Chain A
Amino acid sequence: MRAILAFAAVVAVVPLLVSSNVALNFLVFTMIIALAAQGWNLLGGYGGQYSFGHAAFFGTGAYLTAILQVRFGLNSYPAFAAGIALAALVGLAIGSLAFRSGLKGSYFALVTLAFAEVFRVLANAAQVTGGAAGILIRLQQDPANFQFAERGTFLWVAGTMVTLALMATLALERSRLGAQLVAVRENEAAAQALGVDVLAVKLRTITLSAAMTGAAGGLYAQYFLYLDANIAYGTWISVEALLAPIVGGAGTVFGPVLGAVLLHAIAEATRMIAGRIPGIDLVAFGIVLILVVRFPPRDIPGLLRRWRR
């Protein structure tokens, strides 16, 4: 808890000290990724169910936030809340289908990937999403519209959301559900034998997970004010949401934040060294991922612990 408060304090102070738009952009984007990744972490890190399709939740949160404002004239805040709710529902629906069929491991990864792709193709063809041209939220910089003239203000908002997600994760970790979830991850059969309702535990978790990643999508929509199918439902966000916790420490409270910051620092550094070659930062991501898996302990906290000894 102290670490979370320290994190909140840092986020609160940074916008006062940093005025460079490039730096603030970097931080806001990293916070959005950290939030999406925290969602993945609940299901993948604590629950051991590796999703390759968290874009399905990110995109749903993002699109509904945008569509309700642009097409139905709703205020941004209820639109954002509705986006989170729908993402949670999508999570529950996909979870019901996948977990009821007993899909695990690679099969679960595959089916989530397929769902995200279905959403991408649909969003690319549908009218309400603006199709391939995408959807643009009108620029009205007013806190009443969840738009802010200062990037620093948005960093406060995103940082607050991440802080809340950290607290929620800590609460989950200490809750009965969290304990059951870890039991399911470690040995599903044993957990079941001890009376854990495995299906219910997984469904609750995927719903929470989807809501969190959906919130990240909604934030993305409010910050960038533009979406298309390849942004909202693209593989990139599924990969980012998975990569950050894996690198930073899956199944730990701070893993996703740590991983997101580190990965994007690496991405920036790569771009600085190699120049703006398209895709070069992602090449670096891939290399980091393989190295992290190749040399256990697989995550940064584990490496630090080993180094201290």
Chain B
Amino acid sequence: MGLPPEIILEAVLNGLLTGAVYGLVALGLTLVYGVLHIINFAHGALLTAAMYAAYLAWAALGIDPYVAALPLAVLFFGIGYLVQRLVIGPASQGKDENILLVTLGLSIIIENLMLAVFHSDTRSIDVPYAMDVIEAGPALLSWPRVVGFGATMVVAAALYVLMHFSATGKAIRAVAKERTGAALVGIDVAHIYAVTFGIGTACLAIAAALLLPSFYVSPRVGNAFVLVAFTIVVLGGMGSVVGALVGGLVIGVVESLSGLFLGESLGQIGIFLIFILVLLVRPTGLFGARA
């Protein structure tokens, strides 16, 4: 391919920027996996719901998605908490396949409620900075993506502080390591599970607000992101937070480059193939411990 190097450089940089937000989506997934040891198939649908919430905030109330990010995070923390506490927790009965099925059921419900309410048309918002670019040497970087990258790093840092220096964070890590032991020293495991799920969902809400200026919303948009997020989580190692961020960056670049070389419609194939390959060859991922 005779593509000039600056185009490739630009694709790599933009891939890194988008990849950071993918990483944020994956962060929620991996956190829930690391603590609850469940794969949340409703993750994509919850992201869709968050994107519609951000869309509504802009379309109905005129609130900029970047301003809406924090209130949405709080709202979705609550939603996530309740979903785990009232639906997933009671239905799981300690069986893996039950969780698989319940989260699948949740994703079907959320996705199709969105379809019923908003119909299948794609929507986008029209913020004045959507097309702004920043010059970085020879490359032009999209402004919303730069913001997304920065915000993801801030959220990741905040999560790190929360997990290591707050009592709740310590309780979460204790439950992740040794559930029975944590319960014995008086930690309310069901509550911690729900808090973790809530944090995971809150990450999604922030990611949704960051994605909205540059992506369309449709009832099935979450599916595309969730497969990417699964790939990242599998690549980075289930339960690994660093893995999710690094995996996100890698996948962002892969997507951007395969889009450049293979075209839009086949571009996704690169991601799926990595996904399948990693699952088959090294299901614990690059950063995951051996199960």
Is the Cβ of B98 less than 8 Å from the Cβ of A293? yes
List A88-125 residues whose CB lies under 8 Å from chain B.
Answer: 97-98, 101-103, 105-107, 109-111, 113-115, 117-118, 121-122, 124-125
* CB contact between A103 and one of B101, B114, B120, B279 (< 8 Å): that residue: B279
Contact residues in B for A107 (Cβ distance below 8 Å): 279, 283
Nearest chain A residue, comparing its CB with the CB of B275: A114
Q: List 22 A-B contacts (CB under 8 A).
A: A97-B276, A105-B97, A106-B38, A106-B39, A109-B39, A110-B230, A110-B279, A111-B275, A111-B276, A113-B227, A114-B227, A114-B230, A115-B276, A117-B268, A118-B272, A121-B269, A246-B101, A278-B112, A278-B116, A283-B116, A290-B106, A290-B109
With A101-B283, A283-B113, A293-B91 as known contacts, state yes or no: A121 contacts B272, CB within 8 Å.
yes
CA distance A285 to B269 in the complex (A): 30
A101-B283, A121-B268 in contact; A109/B100 too (CB < 8 A)?
Answer: yes
B273 within 8 A of A: yes
**B191 at interface (Cβ–Cβ under 8 A)?**
no
Residue among B266, B273, B276 having the largest count of chain A Cβ atoms under 10 Å: B276
* Cα(A27)–Cα(B119), bound, Å: 27
A52: interface (CB < 8 Å): yes
Whether A201 is near chain B, meaning CB under 8 Å from some CB there, is no
CB distance from A270 to the nearest CB of B (A): 11
B124 within 8 A of A: no
Tell whether A282 is near chain B: CB-to-CB under 8 Å.
yes
* CB neighbors of B among A268-293 (8 A): 277-280, 282-283, 285-287, 289-290, 293
Q: Does B56 contact A (CB under 8 A)?
A: no
User: Closest CB of chain B to A94's CB: distance in Å?
Assistant: 9
Most B CB contacts (10 A, CB to CB) among A117, A118, A280, A286 go to A286
Tell me the chain B residues, 97-115 only, with Cβ under 8 Å from chain A.
97-98, 100-102, 104-109, 111-115
- The A-contacting residues of B in range 229-277, CB under 8 angstroms, are 230, 234, 265-266, 268-269, 272-273, 275-276
What is the 8 Å Cβ interface bit string for chain A, positions 237-273, against chain B (1 contact, 0 not)? 0010010001000000000000000000000000000
Cβ-defined partner of A287 (8 Å) among B93, B100, B105, B227: B105
Q: Is the CB of B279 within 8 A of A114?
A: yes
- In the complex, A110 Cα to B40 Cα: how many Å? 11
CB proximity of A45 to chain B, nearest CB, Å: 11
In the bound complex, do residue A278 and residue B279 qualify as a contact, i.e. CB atoms below 8 Å apart? no
Inter-chain contact A122/B112, CB cutoff 8 Å? no
B281 on the A face (CB < 8 A): yes
Is A57 among interface residues, defined by CB-CB distance under 8 A?
A: no
Chain A residues at the B interface, C-beta cutoff of 8 Å? 48, 50, 52, 97-98, 101-103, 105-107, 109-111, 113-115, 117-118, 121-122, 124-125, 235, 239, 242, 246, 277-280, 282-283, 285-287, 289-290, 293-294, 296
A279 to B279, CA, bound (A): 32
A239 interface neighbour in B104, B120, B268, Cβ under 8 Å: B104
B87 on the interface (CB 8 Å rule)?
Answer: yes
Report, nearest first, the 4 A-B pairs whose CB atoms are least far apart. A279-B112, A279-B115, A286-B109, A286-B108
* Size of the chain B interface, CB-CB below 8 angstroms: 44
Which residues of B does A touch, CB under 8 Å?
38-39, 41, 87, 90-91, 93, 96-98, 100-102, 104-109, 111-116, 119-120, 219, 223, 227, 230, 234, 265-266, 268-269, 272-273, 275-276, 279-281, 283
Q: Name the distance in Å between B204's Cβ and chain A's nearest Cβ.
A: 19
Is the Cβ of B265 less than 8 Å from the Cβ of A124? yes
Q: A111-B276, A235-B223 are in contact. Are A118 and B269 (CB under 8 A)?
A: yes
Assuming the A-B contacts A118-B273, A124-B265, A279-B113, are A290 and B102 also in contact, with contact meaning beta carbons closer than 8 angstroms in the complex? yes
Residues on B with C-beta less than 8 A from A122 are 269
Q: What is the bound-complex CA distance between A111 and B266, given in angstroms?
A: 19
Q: Which residues of A contact B96 (CB under 8 A)?
A: 105-106
User: Is the pair B234, A50 in contact by a Cβ cutoff of 8 Å?
Assistant: no
Chain A residues, Cβ within 8 Å of B230 = 110, 114
A residues near B283, Cβ cutoff 8 Å: 101-103, 107
Contact assessment for B39 and A278 in the assembled complex, using a CB-CB cutoff below 8 Å: no
